Amino acid sequence: MITLHHLRIGRSLFCAWLLEELHLEYELKEYFRNPKTFRSQDDLKSVHPLGKSPIIEDGSLMLTESSAITTYLMEKYDSENEFHPCREKINTWAKYTQWLHYPEGSAFAPLLIDMLLQRTKDSSQRLNEFSSGEIVLHLNYIQEELDNNDYMLGNFSAADISIAYVIGVADTGKHLAPYPKLLEYLTRCKNRAAFQKAKLRVVE
Ligand SMILES: N[C@@H](CCC(=O)N[C@@H](CS)C(=O)NCC(=O)O)C(=O)O
C-alpha cells in the first residue's frame, strides 16, 4: 500500500486528492510544523533528509517532488489514461507536461515571496515589486490559457491538481479578486468528489 507523508498545512493535500481520483488506498502519516518557524521538524527529516512533503512510499520506492510523484502515479496507476494524455498525442501530452511542471517551476516562487513578506511583515520594495509583478503575469497567463474551459486541457487531468494548488495559494494571498475565471476554476476543482474526500481525511 502507498504511504503518504503529509505535513500540515501544505501541498500534500493535493497529492491525497490525486490518490483519491485514482481510487488508490493509502496510509496517511501526519507531521506538524514548528509553530514558531512554520518549518517541518525532525520527525519528517528522519523520513527524508529534505524534510519536505509530499513524500510517498510505494513498496521500496520513496519519492519526493509533487510533479514527479504525479508522473509516477500516472505511469503506474493510470494505464487507461483517465487523468493524463497518452504520449502518442504528443502535442496534448506536451501541454499537459507544461501545466504539470509550470506551477513549481515558475508560478509558485513569487507567491512564496509574497507569502513570506505578508507573514513576516517585512517590507522590501524590490522583493515586493518583483513578486507583485510576477504574480499578475502568471495569473493573467493562466486565466487566458484556461479561456472558457472547465480545466486546463479542456477535460480534467492530473495537471489541474498542480495548477489548482498555486491558484489556491494565490487565493490565500488575496490575489484572485481580478480573476473571476480562476476563482470559478478553483471552486470547480475543490467541488470534485475526490478533493472533498481527500480534505476529510487529510486535515490541513
Ligand atoms: N517542490 C516541492 C516542494 C515541497 C515543499 O516545499 N513542501 C513544503 C510543504 S507545502 C514543506 O514541506 N515545507 C517544510 C519546510 O520546508 O520546512 C514539491 O513540489 O513537492
Domain 2-83+194-201 belongs to what architecture? 3-Layer(aba) Sandwich (3.40)
Question: What is the grid cell recorded at 56?
Answer: 510517498
Distance 4 CA to ligand 1 centre (A): 14
Ligand 1: residues with CB < 6 A are: 7, 10-11, 39-40, 51-54, 65-66, 104
Protein residue closest via CA to atom 11 of ligand 1:
52
Protein residue closest via CA to atom 2 of ligand 1:
65
Name which CATH class applies to 90-192.
mainly alpha
Q: Which atom of ligand 1 is nearest to the CA of 108?
A: 1
What is the full per-residue pLDDT of the chain (204 aa) written as tens digits? 999 999 999 999 999 999 999 999 999 999 999 999 999 999 999 999 999 999 999 999 999 999 999 999 999 999 999 999 999 999 999 999 999 999 999 999 999 999 999 988 878 899 999 999 999 999 999 999 999 999 999 999 999 999 999 999 999 999 999 999 999 999 999 999 999 999 999 987
Distance 52 CA to ligand 1 centre (A): 4
Protein residue closest via CA to atom 20 of ligand 1:
65
Q: Are 153 and 147 in contact (CB under 8 A)?
A: no
Ramachandran quadrant class, 147 (left: phi over 0; alpha: psi -120 to 50; beta: rest): left
Protein residue closest via CA to atom 13 of ligand 1:
52
Question: What is the domain partition of the chain in residue ranges?
Answer: 2-83+194-201, 90-192
Q: Are 52 and 64 in contact (CB under 8 A)?
A: yes
Q: Distance between CA atoms of 185 and 105, rounded to whole angstroms?
A: 21
51 Cβ partners below 8 Å, 6+ apart?
A: 39, 40, 41, 42, 44, 45
